[in-house]
Structure 1
């Protein structure tokens, strides 16, 4: 418990410091604890310490462990931060409060139908491939306006953009790019920044940071 609480306090303090340096309010930054691959035993101490937003990569894994955890803490908010298959759209809409990985036409169509059917509309982020990396998900920068228009036509409200910068390079230019793209499209939210760079992301406009290792500790 104390270790989890200490790690959480340290990350929150760092977010507050970065926000202050950028003349922002720390309350404007949502901390998402990336709980993918962690079991309920590892997650409960963070819940007990006050953390309420959690991120998962896979629909099936999240459904298996969060049924009981949400019964214990009904105010938990779940974020899908991994790639989503179109045939899992209905399950994702039913389970998650936010989906950060909308990145292609087929998924937009599937989510539009799923949201209409369920009468439920999670917060949605379009993932942008800011580094133009073939191995990563995300729509191309030049394809963003078209995908946003298609989402609107499908009855979806896109709330923001998400990005994962290339590994082992300075992330700041990529965060700045995502911030600029969001401004151009009039979108209020930016999901960017992980354990190694979330302070930089906050200083460059992140509204959601996705932090795993700094909260759960390094794996054995």
Structure 2
């Protein structure tokens, strides 16, 4: 990350590393914490709560990002445990987060997820609908709506998608860009990423899920 930032003429400390610990055992999180990592990304509210609920007292710098698609009936739990929700992608979820935040008296930092490659199997607001949705979220949430997140299509050059997301964020005055993963984070940094989501390059391959287990879930879902 440092090399990529310097090559792009950026300050290395301007880019945050989100260690994607989804499906990884708690022991792996503890090892990462011991090494100095403080920001983690999880897909599922239940799994995230189980790993991190009792760690904050000993690790006050710990921050939890939810990076998987959130069901509206889990919005209250998401608001309660997350420092950042990266997957705000539809009006009904915005309604649920707004209601939960009012009840709980706290509002995490929020990113709008854009389906930048317009892929039917992926979550995220469609690019053609993104401007209106972003503006609505800015009215609702103010500065808590910090930026945008996207996952470019597999097998294609991600650079045009990173550029498109960066331009969209700039057009709305949003400072945060969550883009780039283990295989492409240097390119994402070159295109303005302020956070990168890295899992396998830190933790190795995720454990294979078995039918009926908590791991046997859609990769972009929070239950």
- Are positions 1:144 and 2:130 aligned together? yes
CA 1:155 to 1:19, structure 2 compared with 1: closer, same or farther past 3 Å? closer
- TM-score, normalised to structure 2's length? 0.89
CA 1:168 to 1:158, structure 2 compared with 1: closer, same or farther past 3 Å? same
Looking at both structures, which has the greater relative contact order when contacts are Cα pairs under 8 Å and sequence separation is at least 6? Answer: 2
Deviation at 1:126, TM superposition (A): 0.2
- Are positions 1:175 and 2:162 aligned together? yes
Which residue is 2:60 aligned to? 74
Deviations 1:63-97 (A, max 9, x none): 11212333331220000000011111111011000
Which residue is 2:148 aligned to? 161
Deviation at 1:219, TM superposition (A): 4.5
| Stretches of structure 1 lacking an aligned partner (at least 5 in a row) | 1-14
SS at match of 2:115: coil
SS at match of 1:124: strand
CA 1:219 to 1:144, structure 2 compared with 1: closer, same or farther past 3 Å? closer
Deviations 1:141-185 (A, max 9, x none): 111121123223434531100000001111111111111111111
Which residue is 1:188 aligned to? 175
Aligned residues: 206
Runs (4 or more) in structure 1 with deviation over 2 Å come to 68-72, 152-157
Which residue is 2:48 aligned to? 62
- TM-score, normalised to structure 1's length? 0.90
Q: For residues 26 and 132 of structure 1, what CA distance do their matches in structure 2 show?
A: 31
